[in-house]
Structure 1
């Protein structure tokens, strides 16, 4: 373990990959590693890339990472793919679109399955961010699964959240729906060479006009990620938001909130493990069969499990 941590802090890719695998699989000792590397974290800036399926999140991320590499920045990318609730498998194919970046020694790309997490990111994301931070990344990108209208966990994870939109996703009513549209710090209307791109941009701006007291009004960018058109302007807007967070000191508040949420999740995961242990011990299947014959009810079983967990 000590050698792994030492190699990670020296910037060795293999050590970084191994530790992230340990975090993802919750291998014994992974929390001890995260504790030891915590003092070396906090330097990386985390950018969340979210949006509906097929919006071009991977292509946009690829182009922005290449801009950062021109500036000799070390970059980490965590691409989250959905895990099948039926087969428990995941394709993990987003990194294919960034294949040429994988040859760059100063770019670390990792695909992860959601493994049942419903918020658009994986349960292991926070741990992986800390590993990449200690590894020496200047910027870390989190590319979420193709989200719907309520998968907003990325806002608890990223310093700046970029929402990738495309033309033709709906009318102006769709544009003002609560949830996923409210989490963006920067909007990108990708595939801007398609019909309706300017209309989509106007609708997003109209939605933003409903709120008058913006401290930082999210900019809306028209981009064609495929050929790189508009990507530099969009990235400049991301950096503008970064500068605003540091100048206003909001970055500290944001990261405190993130730590508070992470602590709750650590506690919740431990409680869930205890619940699973109690379920095995109490023979939950036998108890459940009694709910069908009405010999007992779910509330009584729930109370019994709760009392066992408390003990």
Structure 2
């Protein structure tokens, strides 16, 4: 089921408790409406999160990242198919580039993964990055919580595909899959710039092309050169796939399940989720502070401090201290 078709009647009449109850029963319109409230930073957002929090914590979050053209959407669709065969309810957050005109997602779920659109156990939502760096939308953590509360067993987060700045997904996902493809030199270059540090599982997609074995070998060599792992530490596997034909997808799912088991055995799953919530709380707090600082641009306090710095009465750090004290005091 996609997130399209949300009627205005639903927007006007549904209270947050009603929306949450309907979402927990798998109502796609209610899920879509809650995510829209998140994306729009609605005044109801605090109430939404308060109502959802007791129903979360069960979904397994898998992030898919990699340079544009490696087949992230095709792989995501193939993974949805594989998990559905295993009886899992699946959520997909596909973060797309933003339209410079509307601020909305440029691609959207109407042009991707349509084979799953009529499956009531699959929820697909496109989210606009809205200029947020790191390949994600700022609202992604809260949107994940909505899908978690809606009973999704697995949530797949597909990032924008901006290459070297996509490492943020590692702080959000339980398991991060990095996709590469043969014949794309920029894929390995992106890996050298930091993507190798975030992958829990690597997939060389489009493995039916010439150069797939060479790409896998080069990736394996780079992983070996950069290894700082002790005995018992996780060593990311490399899986070759042809997602368009679902080849290698079962092996990819098996690698994901092994990583999840390893995380649970070592207590790392709880640790990752703890760090994720710490980051989320920090982001919310910093956003609130930035909004309060932004309000000062329309007032006199910031101008007065700037004038004193220019006059040599204050250094910028002392001025910033006074500004922070005025906001938090």
What TM-score does the superposition give when structure 1 sets the normalisation length? 0.90
Of 271, 282, 291, which residue of structure 2 is paired with 1:264? Answer: 282
Partner residue, 1:51: 66
* Residue 145 of structure 2 is aligned to residue 127 of structure 1: no
State whether residues 47 and 142 of structure 1, in contact with CA within 8 Å, keep that contact through their aligned partners in structure 2. yes
- 2:194 pairs with 1:179: yes
Q: Is 2:114 the partner of 1:99?
A: yes
- SS of 2:62 mapped into structure 1: strand
Q: How much does 1:151 deviate?
A: 2.4
Q: Which moved more, 1:242-251 or 1:50-59?
A: 242-251
Q: Does the 8 Å CA contact 1:95/1:110 hold for their aligned counterparts?
A: no
**Alpha-carbon deviations, 1:111-133, whole Å to 9, x = none?**
00111210111111000111101
Aligned equivalents of 1:195, 1:77: Cα separation in 2: 31
Gapped regions of structure 2 (runs ≥ 5): 1-15
Judge conservation of contact 2:133–2:165 (CA < 8 Å) in 1: no
> Is residue 51 of structure 2 the alignment partner of residue 33 of structure 1?
no
Name the SS for the 1:280 alignment partner.
Answer: coil
**In the alignment, is residue 276 of structure 1 matched against residue 291 of structure 2?**
no
Q: Structure 1 pair 151/86, CA: closer, same or farther in 2 (3 Å)?
A: farther
Q: Say whether 1:248 aligns with 2:266.
A: yes
| Deviation readout 1:227-248 (Å, 9 max, x if unpaired) | 1111111111111111111122
Rounded to whole Å, the distance in 2 between the matches of 1:138 and 1:172 is: 30
The one of 59, 65, 71 equivalent to 2:86 is 71
CA distance in 2, matches of 1:134, 1:112: 18
CA positional deviation for 1:176 = 6.0
> Does the Cα contact within 8 Å between 1:23 and 1:127 map onto a contact in 2?
yes
Question: Residue 288 of structure 2: SS of its match in structure 1?
Answer: helix
User: Contact 1:279 / 1:305 at 8 angstroms: preserved in 2?
Assistant: no
Report deviation, 1:58. Answer: 0.5
Distance 1:19-1:36 versus aligned 2 partners, 3 A rule: same
CA separation in 2, counterparts of 1:83 and 1:109? 17
Task: Assess, with a 3 A threshold, how the Cα gap between structure 1 residues 154 and 175 changes in structure 2: closer, same or farther.
Answer: closer
Q: CA deviation at 1:87?
A: 6.6
Matched, 1:117 2:129: no
Aligned to 1:117, what secondary structure does the other structure show? coil
Q: Deviation of residue 310 (structure 1)? A: 3.6
Aligned to 1:90: 105
| Cross-structure match for 1:216 | 234
Whole-angstrom CA distance in 2 between matches of 1:175 and 1:219: 18
Deviations 1:45-65 (A, max 9, x none): 000010001110000010110
Q: For structure 1, which runs of at least 5 residues remain unmatched after alignment?
A: none
Residue 17 of structure 1: CA displacement?
0.7
Q: What is the CA deviation profile of residues 59-92 of structure 1, one whole-angstrom value per residue up to 9, with x for unaligned ones?
A: 0010110111112211000000122567745313
Q: Is the 8 A contact 2:130 2:137 kept in 1?
A: yes
1:156 corresponding residue in structure 2: 171
- Residue 103 of structure 1: SS of its match in structure 2? coil
Could you say which residue in structure 1 is the equivalent of 2:250?
Answer: 232
Cα offsets for 1:155-208 (capped at 9, x unmatched) = 111000000101133289737624122100000011112221111100111112
SS state at 1:226 partner: helix
The number of residue pairs the alignment matches comes to 308
Taking the aligned partners of 1:171 and 1:256, their CA distance within structure 2 comes to 33
User: How much does 1:104 deviate?
Assistant: 0.7
TM-score (norm 2): 0.85
Where 1:48 maps in the other structure, the secondary structure is strand
Alpha-carbon separation, structure 1, partners of 2:187 and 2:83 = 35
The answer on whether the counterparts of 2:204 and 2:216 sit within 8 Å (CA) in structure 1 is yes
Q: Tell me if the contact between 1:50 and 1:147 (Cα under 8 Å) persists in the aligned partners.
A: no
| Whole-Å separation in 1 of the counterparts to 2:272 and 2:143 | 19
